[in-house]
């Protein structure tokens, strides 16, 4: 392996106490995160959105291909167009395309095909996954695309919480219309629509419980 391909890894070691304290406070902050479906129209500096996306770009990805594009939509006309098309797909979802079990599971969230948050949120971050790359040298491969994009979106959502903003992970499937409206290239497929902004002053969220540690983890000591 060629030495010039490597740099010394800079590591700042924490004491055990500091490590415990920081892990607790990060958990406590992330435990406050909720999916919000009622947005205020209050503006958010674009710089915050840029930093949030830069944070997503620090996520690990298969062979470091970073196989995603985050499209930031703040244009009102585009948002209205997207809302209209999303509501058309969602209407079909709620009226036949989703199974009875799925509809039953969604009852407690009180959701339907009407999606005002698409117009109210100051930004939609529409995430596209790149199944392959198309460049001057032709098509090149990406690896573990779903995993890589999912991890980057996890970083994105954590950064949104850290910036004092709220978001929703929205999947108005099938989402092909998003690539059409935004004129995305053939190698990109819509992955998630993430409205970002401040919560509406009367926003409410469903009462949910999160699984306990022993329900989501198994320790082999």
Ligand X SMILES: Cc1cc2nc3c(=O)[nH]c(=O)nc-3n(C[C@H](O)[C@H](O)[C@H](O)COP(=O)(O)O)c2cc1C
* Closer of 33 and 133 to ligand X (Cβ): 33
Applying CB under 6 A, which part among 1-9, 14-22, 29-37, 118-126 lies near ligand X? 29-37
Positions in 104-163 near ligand X (CB under 6 A): 109, 111
Q: Which residue from 1, 8, 208, 216 is in contact with ligand X, where contact means CB under 6 A?
A: 208
For the beta carbon of residue 152, count every other beta carbon within 10 angstroms: 25
Whole-number Å distance between alpha carbons of 16 and 23: 10
Decide: is 35 part of the binding site for ligand X (CB under 6 A): yes
Give the torsion through C-alpha atoms of 165, 170, 53, 77, to 10 deg.
-90
- Nearest-approach distance from CB 114 to ligand X, in angstroms: 11
Q: Does the footprint of ligand X cover residue 200 (CB under 6 A)?
A: no
Q: Which is closer to ligand X, CB of 1 or CB of 208?
A: 208
**Min dist. Cβ of residue 148 to ligand X (A):** 15
Check: CB of residue 146 under 8 Å from CB of residue 214. Answer: no
> Can residue 74 be called a binding residue for ligand X (CB under 6 A)?
no
Segment interacting with ligand X (CB under 6 A) among 6-14, 79-87, 133-141, 167-175: 167-175
Of the pair 208, 217, the CB lying nearest ligand X is at 208
Counting Cα atoms < 13 Å in the Cβ hemisphere of 176 gives 2
Could you identify the residue written with the tokens 């797909």? Answer: 89
Residue found under tokens 């983890």: 217
Closest alpha carbon to 179 in 65, 71, 87? 71
CB 117 within 8 A of CB 172: no
Q: Which residue has the tokens 């196989």?
A: 67
* Window of 11-19, 44-52, 73-81, 169-177 that interacts with ligand X by CB under 6 A: 169-177
Do the strands 132-135 and 123-130 form a parallel or antiparallel pair, or are they unpaired? unpaired
Closest CB to ligand X among 37 and 130? 37
The only residue of 55, 131, 133, 169 in contact with ligand X, by rule CB under 6 A: 169
Residue closer to ligand X by CB (options 55, 171) is 171
Q: Which two tokens stand for residue 74?
A: 């703040």
Residues within the interface to ligand X (CB under 6 A): 34-35, 37, 109, 111, 168-171, 205, 208
């Amino acid at each position: 392996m060629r030495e010039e391909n490597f740099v010394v890894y800079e590591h700042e070691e924490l004491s055990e106490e500091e490590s415990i304290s920081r892990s607790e406070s990060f958990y406590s902050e992330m435990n406050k995160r909720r999916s919000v479906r009622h947005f205020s129209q209050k503006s958010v500096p674009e710089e915050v959105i840029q930093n949030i996306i830069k944070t997503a770009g620090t996520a690990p990805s298969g062979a470091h291909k970073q196989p995603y594009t985050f499209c930031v939509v703040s244009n009102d006309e585009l948002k209205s167009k997207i809302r209209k098309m999303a509501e058309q797909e969602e209407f079909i979802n709620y009226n036949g395309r989703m199974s009875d079990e799925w509809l039953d599971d969604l009852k407690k969230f009180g959701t339907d095909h009407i999606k005002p948050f698409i117009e109210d949120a100051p930004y939609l971050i529409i995430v596209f996954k790149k199944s392959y790359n198309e460049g001057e040298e032709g098509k090149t491969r990406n690896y573990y695309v779903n995993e890589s994009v999912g991890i980057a979106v996890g970083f994105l959502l954590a950064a949104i919480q850290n910036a004092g903003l709220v978001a929703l992970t929205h999947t108005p499937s099938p989402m092909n219309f998003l690539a059409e409206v935004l004129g995305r290239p053939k190698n990109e497929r819509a992955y998630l629509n993430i409205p970002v902004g401040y919560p509406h002053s009367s926003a409410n969220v469903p009462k949910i419980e999160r699984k306990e540690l022993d329900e989501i983890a198994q320790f082999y000591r």
